[in-house]
Amino acid sequence: MHRIRVLIAEDEPVVRMDLRSVLESIGHTVVGETDNGEDAAILARNLKPDLAILDIMMPKMTGLEAAAILSRERIAPVLLLTAYREAGMIDEASRAGVLAYLVKPFRAEELEPAIEIALARYRELAALEGERNALTEEIAARKAVGRAKAILMRRNDLTEREAFRRMQAQSLAMNKSLHEIADAIILSDEMNSGS
């Protein structure tokens, strides 16, 4: 396992100290510590840790609320370290975006696999999100190109193939993507239609 930067949010000082000691003994760096969920969210935004280890029940904001913020804002993966083992709490943790769950009292040898699982799941989610964004962009580009072809066909009495070739030639000549050329054609048509 490579060295990672960890944020700890735990309201029990002894547990926080033990966790820090175990993390440092396996080669990780604790970049921040707090005893409440609100500060955990603030610290995470500022420190950009590789992992946040949060307790559930903390003052000001629960670990689940902080986990939801970290997950929604894609700040860091969250490992929940808690005394709660009820199925309802685990479901809430899953909905909050928690990627690994460890029950107290934890053993040092349990921590490293839980960290690895959280980091691996986070990388998988990031990759899936990247793929989704790329597909969304591709769909938008295809729709724009189709609409622009229709405009060129109507305006210039072209076949679909001829309209597409004109767009490709313009794309190459201007060093712009087909999507950018399509957007320009659509904008021009909208401006001409509006006048």
- pTM to 2 decimal places: 0.67
Provide CATH 1.10.10.10 ranges for the chain.
132-194
Provide CATH 3.40.50.2300 ranges for the chain.
5-106
- CATH class of the region 5-106: alpha beta
Alpha carbon of residue 119 to chain centroid: 12
Distance CA 64, CA 54 (A): 8
Strand partners, 103: 82
pLDDT tens readout for residues 43-76 = 999 999 999 999 888 878 888 888 888 888 888 8
Distance CA 104, CA 111 (A): 11
Kindly indicate whether the domain formed by 132-194 is annotated with CATH number 1.10.10.10: yes
pLDDT tens readout for residues 93-146 = 777 777 777 778 777 778 788 888 888 888 887 778 878 888 888 888 889 988
